[in-house]
Amino acid sequence: MNSRKYGLLLLLVFTFLFNTIPAQQAKQDTELAKKLKALPGVVEVKEARFTSSFFSEAYEVMVQQPLDQSHPKGEKFQQRFFVSHKDYTSPVMLETEGYTANSNPLKELTRILNGNQVIVEHRYFGRSVPKGRRWQYLTLKNAAADMHHIVTLLKTIYKGKWVSSGTSKGGQTTLFYKYFYPNDVDASVPYVAPINVAQEDPRIYIHLQNVGSPECRKKIKEYQIAMFKREDELLPLVKAAADKRNYVFSMGLSQAYEYAVLEYLFTFWQYGPVSCDNIPAPDAPKEVMVDHFMRTDALDFFTDASIKGYEPFFYQAYSEIGFYNYDVTGFRQYMKTVKRPTDSILCPKDAKIVYNPQTLQNVYHFLQYEGNNIIYIYGEWDTWGATQVQLIGQTNSIKLVKKEGFHSTRISQLSPEQKDIFYNTLESWLGVKLNRI
């Protein structure tokens, strides 16, 4: 046989073999992949991106959950979570998302624990949305039961210590999970997690009336008043800037603008994107006024895309979790469109909103009297710090507040003394040596 015919024959053989071997056999499942696929209710396991220097493998998993956790044999939906693996005996950092979990980043607390990482997407977000989005099943109790089910499954794989954590609404989720299932994890570290005790908690106003310096608060209010007074002059520039960002406002640009001017105060102290020195004077050129306004991203909050994406959050906020409103003192006479401001306008239009105050009152009482092994992390100037948990000495939990910190406050930003308290406390609870970063 000449070489040309021989080469052709080999090509045909390899093509036949390649096309007849099942795709899943091209790469053998790892031990962890097999374990995950064998878990009851798991319907999908696929590789996920991960930080290769830290984890050895990672997976995106879909698991069936009851839509109503009080009726486990009833209608199901699929919930997403990520598992990033170090080894089977190391601690597990459980990230309790409050929103979508569409990526798998290495979390700060995972590095501290030098362990495995599990990120759970919240029901009604991302890929974890039930058909029909029947809002009555979006409750804190159901969401906590989702978490409990996933942790129960994964504890058959991971036998080490478990620490739950989350940021902002994810931090709230950590605390709600702790309330409903106090013994599921060995410790909890919620970041910047508010616990509101009213549908529109007035403690937000008190915080905003006292945060920072009097001079800075005065500059902020003068800027807001000027934005209202100069609305007709500034709105065309705002529209041009919004169009460049492809913003769409079904509520109308003027209404979105006025809401965003009210929101500016909350956003300023939540994230601290600019210093008080950079707030424009009331008579600054219109271009300067609008450029500053757009850099705060307050207007983005009221776009159609943002409202649609956060519908589940606003349903929860106005039915159980609580939110805030705006103090219009000194503004009302200048507002042209918004007469009675309330962020309840951002709730899903197809949802019946009935506020249940009892859930958060029960949670708050539990955290003060029974919530042990919790380390609360807050930023002093963060607006959401207004409704932080107030400890009364009835538990072993501690609270660390970063001086002049914002909503971005993390363990790595705490003072050396606070870091020592954090590491020493968590090590004593877990009985493991931490990686001090």
Chain segment 381-416, per-residue pLDDT in tens: 999 999 999 999 999 999 999 999 999 999 999 999
Residues 258-300: tens digit of each pLDDT: 999 999 999 999 988 678 999 999 999 999 999 999 998 899 9
Nearest to 62 by CA among 85, 37, 79, 47: 79
Q: What phi and psi values does residue 289 have, to the nearest 5 degrees?
A: -60, -45
pTM of whole model > 0.85?
yes
Q: Is 122 exposed, middle or buried (0-12, 13-18, 19+ CB in 10 A)?
A: buried
Q: What are the Cα distances from residue 350, in Å, to 129, 134, 266, 314, 345?
A: 16, 9, 28, 12, 12
Residue-wise pLDDT for 113-157, tens only, equals: 999 999 999 999 999 999 998 999 999 999 999 999 999 999 999
Sheet strands side by side (includes 375-379)? 42-47, 57-66, 76-85, 116-120, 92-96, 162-167, 187-191, 375-379, 398-402
Per-chain mean pLDDT for the chain = 93
Q: What is the pLDDT of residue 275?
A: 86
> Max Cα separation, the chain?
96
- Tell whether the torsion through CA atoms of 357, 302, 325 and 167 is positive or negative: positive
Q: 240 with 287: CB under 8 angstroms?
A: no
pLDDT of residue 186: 98
Q: Using the predicted structure, report yes or no on whether residue 10 has a pLDDT greater than 90.
A: no
24-33, 65-74, 334-343, 358-367: segment of lowest average pLDDT: 24-33
pLDDT band at 15; cut points 50, 70, 90: very low
- Which of the pair, 147 or 8, is modelled with greater confidence? 147
12 pLDDT exceeds 90?
no
Write the CA distances from 199 to 44, 311, 346, 358, integer angstroms. 38, 16, 14, 11
Q: What is the pLDDT of residue 273?
A: 63
Q: What is the pLDDT of residue 9?
A: 41
Spatial neighbors of 180 by CB under 8 A, at least 6 apart, are 140, 141, 144, 145, 148
The CATH homologous superfamily to which domain 31-197+358-430 belongs is: Alpha/Beta hydrolase fold, catalytic domain (3.40.50.1820)
Q: What is the pLDDT, as a whole number, of residue 8?
A: 39
Position 14 pLDDT exceeds 70: no
- State the pLDDT at residue 7: 42
Q: Quickly count: other Cβ atoms within 10 Å of residue 278's Cβ.
A: 10
For the chain, domain boundaries: 31-197+358-430, 203-346
pLDDT tens profile 62-110: 999 999 999 999 999 999 999 999 999 999 999 999 999 988 999 999 9
Give the distance from CA 139 to its chain's centroid: 16
Distance CA 355, CA 316 (A): 9
**Is the pLDDT reported for residue 18 higher than 90?**
no
